[in-house]
């Protein structure tokens, strides 16, 4: 009787240990695969943000209907994908969008100003908004430098992404 109880306990312990080890191994694989999929999506979103920022820059002086189409596309993209962007890119992109959409107003205020000092001030303000639309591209480009900065080393369990997949970091 005692032998049967001890044998049963060893069997239960073996089953528990096997389940624990399997979960540890395959759970980590799932996390690694999810991390690669998330990274792929993040790269795709940043590439599209870069493309839309260039479209905004080149359409800033276009007629209102053309400009509206570009702006609508950019805003819809931002709403659908902003969580995949880094904080800096997310903020710069939406700021560039608002400056892009309101740029005509800045130009009209500048043109309507009759006071030379005010006109100069409005010119610098208008130029600053234009530069913000232009510079979002640089922010997005900088966000692609994560391969060199080690930003991908933030994965759990001491793993990092390499050109061939996820592997253990060698310290």
User: Mind listing the pLDDT tens digit for each residue in 17-64?
Assistant: 676 766 666 655 666 666 677 778 888 888 898 899 889 888 888 898
Structural domain total, the chain: 1
Distances (CA, A) of 89 to 20, 37, 84, 142, 145: 41, 20, 10, 9, 13
Alpha helices in the chain (DSSP H): 2-59, 64-81, 87-112, 116-143, 146-149
- Give the model's confidence band at 163: pLDDT under 50 very low, under 70 low, under 90 confident, else very high: very low
Contacts for 93 with CB less than 8 Å, ≥ 6 apart: 49, 52, 53, 74, 78, 82, 85, 136, 140
Q: Domain span at residue 55?
A: 27-168
**Contact between residue 149 and residue 59 where contact means Cβ atoms under 8 Å apart:** no
Residue 170 has pLDDT above 60, yes or no: no
Residue 117 — very low, low, confident or very high, per pLDDT cuts 50/70/90? confident
Task: Establish if 8 belongs to a structural domain.
Answer: no
Is 90 exceeded by the pLDDT of residue 70? yes
16: in domain: no
For residue 133, the model assigns a pLDDT of 82
Residue 6 lies in a domain: no
On whether residue 21 sits in a domain, the answer given is: no
Domain contains 12:
no
- Going by pLDDT thresholds of 50, 70 and 90, the confidence category of residue 128 is confident
Residue 68 in any domain: the answer is yes
125 domain residue, yes or no: yes
- Is residue 14, in this structure, part of any structural domain at all? no
Mean pLDDT of 10-20: 72
């Amino acid at each position: 009787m005692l032998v049967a109880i001890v044998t049963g306990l060893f069997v239960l312990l073996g089953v528990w240990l096997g389940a624990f080890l399997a979960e540890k191994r395959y759970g980590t694989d799932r996390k690694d695969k999810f991390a690669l999929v998330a990274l792929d999506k993040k790269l795709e979103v940043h590439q599209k943000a870069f493309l839309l920022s260039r479209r905004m820059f080149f359409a800033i002086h276009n007629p209102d209907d053309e400009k509206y189409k570009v702006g609508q596309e950019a805003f819809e993209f931002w709403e659908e994908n902003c969580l995949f962007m880094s904080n800096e890119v997310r903020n710069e992109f939406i700021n560039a969008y608002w400056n892009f959409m309101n740029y005509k107003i800045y130009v009209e205020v500048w043109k309507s100003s009759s006071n030379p000092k005010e006109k100069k001030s409005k010119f610098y303000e208008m130029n600053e908004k234009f530069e913000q639309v232009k510079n979002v591209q640089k922010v997005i480009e900088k966000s692609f430098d994560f391969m060199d900065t080690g930003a991908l080393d933030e994965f759990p369990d001491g793993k990092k992404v390499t050109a061939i997949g996820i592997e253990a970091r060698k310290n």
